[in-house]
Amino acid sequence: MTSDLAIDVRGLRKSFGDQTVLDGVDLAVRAGSITALLGPNGAGKTTIVGLLSTLLKIDAGTARVAGHDVVAQPEAVRAAIGVTGQTSAVDDLLTGVENLRLMASLHHLGRRPGRERVDALLAQFGLTDAARKPVSTWSGGMRRKLDLAMTLVGNPAVVFLDEPTTGLDPRSRRTLWDEVRALAAAGTTILLTTQYLEEADRLADRVAVLDGGRIVAEGTSVELKSAHDAGSLDDVFLRLTEPAAELPAETAPKELA
């Protein structure tokens, strides 16, 4: 793994029974960047997040996150990452501040540092005014921001966001986009899975299109549009997710340098 790569994946494979979900995935994510994994339901996006966050076992291939081997050094990987899944991890029976303090305790931050970190995150995400109200009374957008704030309590170097804006209204989605951009600007590496073409287009430094368990195209949004003579990322995505036999030769996965 080169020093500027926060995520380095080679030949990643995963099957569940007779079903092959990932079939030789290569992926390189540079430190401090945002990479979007774009693909339809069942393409394997969430499985990749599960493997890289040590929640699932790799069948074959290698993966390093924040300089640590996912198989040989799982504890070091877990200490370096934060994960926001498709399902909210917040506890509705607790207040916002109680949810965050619970995470601070799990990270062993100590009483005073933990409270300072919680207060800073509440302010960062604009949740201070609602902090002492039960989360069950919060809007969906506020709950999702709290979910992301909880992911950041331990100051992770790498953050996995698995379809973080699914179900949010357009305003809440754009607010969360701003927070993601700010994280990357501060040096956090972000791997984002999404089905929203606009989200990938606006947020990601690089986009990897996943279909049938393989990366079928990768590059910046501009590069993908140019390579496939497309006016929008929507057109690129629709072409690349056609049956594999119909894909043009240039979409075949390429080995990493």
Pairing between strand 34-38 and 189-194? parallel
> Do 37 and 26 contact (CB within 8 A), yes or no?
no
* Ranges of each domain in the chain: 5-251
The residues near 139 (Cβ < 8 Å, ≥ 6 apart) are 172
Listed as ranges, residues in the chain with pLDDT below 70 are 1-3, 228-257
Q: Radius of gyration of the chain from Cα atoms? A: 19
Q: How far apart are CA 137 and CA 115, in angstroms?
A: 23
pLDDT value, residue 198: 87
Q: If you write DSSP's letter for every residue of 69-119 in order, what string do you get?
A: ETTT-HHHHHHHEEEE-SS----TTSBHHHHHHHHHHHTT--HHHHHHHHH
> Do 27 and 207 contact (CB within 8 A), yes or no?
no
pLDDT value, residue 70: 97
Long-range contacts of 243-252 (CB under 8 A, 24+ apart): 244/211, 244/212, 244/216, 247/216, 251/216, 251/217, 252/216
pLDDT value, residue 166: 83
* Alpha carbon of residue 253 to chain centroid: 21
Q: How far apart are CA 184 and CA 223, in angstroms?
A: 21
Q: How far apart are CA 12 and CA 213, in angstroms?
A: 10
CATH fold of 5-251 reads: Rossmann fold (3.40.50)
Supply angle C-alpha 80, 86, 88, rounded to 5. Answer: 85
Which stretches within 107-169 are classed as H helix? 111-124, 140-151
Q: How far apart are CA 247 and CA 250, in angstroms?
A: 8
> Do 204 and 161 contact (CB within 8 A), yes or no?
no
User: With the C-alpha atoms ordered 41, 43, 45, 48, is the resulting torsion angle positive or negative?
Assistant: positive
